[in-house]
Amino acid sequence: MHNLNAQPTDEALFERYRGGDTQAFRTLIERHHDDLLAFLFRLVGDRQAAEDVFQEAWVQVHLSADTFDRERTFRPWLFTIAANKGRDYLRKKGRRQTVDLSAPVRQDGSGTATFVDLLEVDIPSPDASMQASERDAMVQRAIQSMSPQLREILLLAYFQRLSYAQIAEDLQIPLGTVKSRLHAAVASFAQRFGQVSRSASDQEHS
């Protein structure tokens, strides 16, 4: 039996909007509001700036509506536009990206984890000598020292949980480049975290 309560897909809503249904556009904004705003906050590191970029992203979605490929999935396209707007903001302001690594990240299924939990690198668990907040601060310093290119691919892969294929499409780079760049990003993060951790340990014992 057909489910009358089934929600329309993003793609169906966007097609309605392109046909003149403005309510469908409002529904899309509401549907993606929390995830997109959180993504932008992690990308630009400032709440007000994230809200401004959020608005700019949706304006660009409107302006680019006619160019949307019906064979594509709407959400990765939306986040690609938002990431581009975020990069534009960072270039204009000359600011370095900051990431709230202690904030929960939604996973598939019912569980949640932090950004740090999703990275398969050797990070010590909080103990008597390292509180959770101290670890998060060190992780944040480590990732801030990475290049914007590597930070971005970490965000897309571990925060947005995009597949290799989606990242390749969004960044317009070959699939092999995605894999090698993400591997380099995780390795870079692990190395930099080790440096930050050793520096903090040396300061404690000096």
User: What residue ranges define each of the domains in the chain, with the CATH number in brackets?
Assistant: 1-95 (1.10.1740.10), 99-206 (1.10.10.10)
In degrees rounded to 5, what are phi and psi of residue 87? -65, -40
d(CA 5, CA 146): 46
pLDDT of residue 33: 92
What angle is formed at CA 60 by the lines to CA 65 and CA 14, rounded to 5 degrees?
Answer: 35
- Residue ranges for the chain with pLDDT beneath 50: 1-2, 95-99, 105-111, 120, 126, 128
Which bin fits 29, alpha (ψ -120 to 50), beta or left (φ > 0)?
Answer: alpha
In degrees rounded to 5, what are phi and psi of residue 64? -100, 10
pLDDT of residue 205: 64
Q: Are 141 and 152 in contact (CB under 8 A)?
A: no
pLDDT of residue 159: 65
**Prediction pTM value:** 0.58
pLDDT of residue 1: 46
